[in-house]
Amino acid sequence: MGAVKQVDIAVIGAGPAGLSLACALASSGLQLCLIDPQSKAELSDPPMDGRDIAMTHLSKTILMEMGVWQRFESDVVHPLCEATVQDGSSPYALHFERSDDPDAPLGYLVANHQIRKALFSQAQTLKNVDWLYEQSVISTSASGSGGRVVLDNGDVIEASLVVSADSRFSTTRRMMGIGAKMKDFGRVMIVCNMTHPGSHRNTAQECFYYGRTCAILPLGENTSSIVITVPAAKAEELTSSSPEDFESCVSDMLEHRLGKLTLVSERFSYPLVGAYADKFVSPGYALIGDAAVGMHPVTAHGYNLGLRSADTLAKQILKAKQQGKDIGSLSVLQGYEWRHQLLAKPLYESTNMIVRLYTDDRPLAKLARKAAIRVGNNIAPFKKLVTHRLTQIR
């Protein structure tokens, strides 16, 4: 056996959720340990992965409180002023915009790798965090008396609370005997950045065509992130085609609404698989981020939910510490689980329902989706609810 290290909280995974939890507990007086298989160099300067996150105003508020938002350079934050949903080639679209303040954005688009970089940079300043780079977990256990993490180098971490933040395919979740309902959508998401002569007007556009979807996420001037989802069998054709053929295909797909598109980044592809853990906690153990709930990216809001999980758990931990309670006790952790389930379950199920409806090409489904857009556009409370979710501050 290697060395034994004692900490208050062991966080497995130094991705966006794990780093967010560390930043949220900066002033807690608790000692944290972050464990990740990547090197410090890889974590400090993550490569572009093509994914852009539609950040809500609440996410901005939370990241401001952590000191993370201030680390973004102004040119990596792109205001999102409006969003539209369109079915097929129909010119009719469901519109979301701010009625309370037309000059304020609905939200902000920030590249995933920029979020990771800012979070890691902020977490590096924390005095209460120990870092274990290039370390993999070979076993995890937890009970009412605390948790134990064994690393591949033989070292052991003992903690009052173990937190898994190691992706929707979490291996440590399985080590703890917690299952998850996995939803394989049978589709692949292809993402890239493209330039175009037409203006995107800072408007996100979700276009549901038959057999595929295409989203336009507005970045800098005359630049957009293009997100295409197709059946897995057709993904290879798009990712392996020449840049010229790909550009022509996407321009045609979008009916040239932005003019001729030019590829300016690598094409990235991701199989679309959703995940919802059977439970989020057990004595001495908690799941956050995608390890708890892995969302379909159709709304580009996955990190918002992961950030909320870290923020909610941190608040429960801080409250328990102030009251002199065991931070790993089931009663404390169930408060987090209840709150996060209340937020995550409706969002996860409604997102999957939308995906099912808008990827079903049967005649009745086509009629239903066209009707849904028209009904949604004319029901003020629905639009206000969606807009409020995007723009609420706390």
d(CA 308, CA 28): 18
| Number of CB atoms found within 10 A of residue 209's CB | 18
Return the domain boundaries, the chain: 4-182+273-391
Q: Give tens-digit pLDDT for 349-384.
A: 877 776 666 566 666 655 555 555 555 555 544 444
Q: For tokens 């080590």, what's the residue?
A: 175
4 φψ region: left (φ > 0), alpha (ψ -120 to 50), beta (else): beta
Domain 4-182+273-391 has CATH 3.50.50.60: yes
Using N-to-C axis directions, what is the helix angle for 302-322 and 16-24, rounded to 10°? 30
**Phi and psi angles of residue 319, each rounded to the nearest 5 degrees, phi first:** -65, -45
**Hey, what amino acid is at 318?**
L
The list of the chain residues with pLDDT below 70 reads 1, 88-96, 98-100, 210, 298-301, 354-394
Q: Are 49 and 321 in contact (CB under 8 A)?
A: no
How many distinct helices (H) and strands (E) make up the chain?
11, 20
Average pLDDT along the chain: 88
Q: Give tens-digit pLDDT for 133-148.
A: 999 999 999 998 899 9
